[in-house]
Each structure stands twice: as structure tokens, then as C-alpha cells.
Amino acid sequence: MLIEGKNAVNEALRGNTTIEKVMVLKTAPAYNFKTIVNACREKKINVQFVEKSALDRLSESGNHQGVIAVATEFKYSDVDEILEKKDGRDLLVILLDGIEDPHNLGAIIRVADCVGANGIIIPRHRSCGVTDTAVKVSSGAASHVKIAKVVNLNDTIRMLKEKGVMVFATDMEGDDIYRTNLTGDVAFVIGSEGKGVHELTKKVSDATISLPQYGMVNSLNASVATGAVLYECIRQRRAKQ
């Protein structure tokens, strides 16, 4: 797996990502990549100073910023790891139902890290996994957010409910999020932009919630909707303290 860009590589070095080598633009000023090179030396990671053409050939995004790290494939977590509480805080879990665009996944991972979510759960089939593009878009957050793959998302929702987690599916016809209590252990199901959350998944969930919309286009990008939902949850938690 390739990790491209200064921020993404820096965060990968700070996180738990296993990096095999880092390639740096040989003609760049030394101070540009001083932090990355020093971190590699501390971790005994091989650093190669290469021509721009070599980085251009490897780059999938076309925006490597002069540095590419070669890492082992993304290591997924178990659901049980995600359900481990942090410092006694209430659980905050994200379930993705049919997100296929790695750009959306990467942006959601970034939001999850920003709000301190416990992790993200994705279905094994008919959804995007953590690809190089998703890692790049996450700006390194993929190195810090626990992500689990499950065979059946609905079974996972049932398991969460048995453990006392309140599961909210997002849907345009759901209850107003600003009139819904989102405190306690909660999980949010985010659907794809095209199909939204599947009907059975909505039925299995405890409730459905929606964000009010006042414009002419009645849909939000999945990552934008995720950010709005999660920050309302955080707002309610802070108000309750």
C-alpha cells in the first residue's frame, strides 16, 4: 500500500502503520522532509532519495508532494477492539452501509478521528475498503482510527443493541436530529449517496434520524452528513457535562 503526501506519511509514522520504506524527492530542500527523515531513522525505516520521475510513476493520486511511503496492507481491527471504551467515555461508533467511493471513506475516517470516535465498521462485500486513495484523503487519520470489516452489517447492529448501544440510521424521512437524544453509547449508520441506508438496516436499527435541509438539492455528501451528525452528538455530550 502506498501512502502519499507529507501529512499522510507523517501521521503514518506516528501511528501503528507498518512502513517498509520511504521515498523522498532528492532535489527537495532538506528542511522540507526533516521530520519524516528523522522519524524514519529513529524507527530504522529505510529512506531512499529518488528523482521526481520515480515518484510520479508510483503516485496514484498525482499529488505525492515529494514523498511516498510503502506500507504493508491496512490492518483491520476486530469489532471488540472498537467497543473498548476510551477513558470511560460513552461509545461513538460509525457503521457505513454501502459506501463505495474511497474519497468518501477517507473523508469519513478523517472526521471520525477529529471527533474521537471509537471506530468505523464496514461490510466486507459491496463497499469500499481502506485503499491507498482512502488513506491519502484521510490525511493520515487512517493510522489512528480503528476500522473493522464484518460479514453482515445487520447482525452487527443487533449485537450492538444487545450490548446497550443505541443505533441510529440516517435517512431523509427520519426524526429531526436536533430533537433526538444522542447521548450515551451510540452508533450511527451512514448510507451511500445513491441508495442511502438499506430498508432492512433501518428496520433493525433503533431509530432513524435526519438533518434538516432547506435548499433545492435534497441530499448531502456522505462524509459531510457524517460530520454534521457526529458533531451534533458531540455538542449534546458537552451540553450534558
What would the pLDDT profile of 32-64 be if each residue is shown by its tens digit?
899 999 999 998 999 999 999 999 998 877 889
pTM exceeds 0.85, yes or no = no
End-to-end CA distance of the chain: 42
Distance CA 95, CA 142 (A): 16
Distance CA 186, CA 96 (A): 14
Check if the beta carbon of residue 170 is closer than 8 Å to that of residue 209.
yes
Q: DSSP for 39-72, please give it.
A: HHHHTT-EEEEE-HHHHHHH-SSS--TTEEEEEP
Distance CA 222, CA 178 (A): 19
- pLDDT value for 218: 67
- Helix or strand (DSSP H, E) at 100: none
Q: Where are the domains of the chain?
A: 2-71, 79-240
> pLDDT digits over 179-235, tens only?
999 999 999 999 987 788 999 999 999 999 999 888 776 678 899 999 999 999 999
Cell of residue 220, nine digits: 448531502
- pLDDT value for 219: 73
> pLDDT digits over 121-151, tens only?
999 888 888 888 888 889 889 989 999 999 9
User: Lowest-confidence range among 69-83, 110-124, 220-234?
Assistant: 69-83
For the domain made up of 79-240, the CATH class stated in words is alpha beta
Q: What's the mean pLDDT when you consider all of the chain? A: 91
Cell of residue 48, nine digits: 531512499
The CB-side HSE value for 227 (13 A sphere, CA atoms) comes to 14
Q: Return all residues near 128 (Cβ < 8 A) that are at least 6 apart.
A: 99, 100, 101, 102, 104, 105, 122, 134
Residue 24 has what DSSP assignment?
A: E
Task: Identify the CATH number of the domain defined by range 2-71.
Answer: 3.30.1330.30
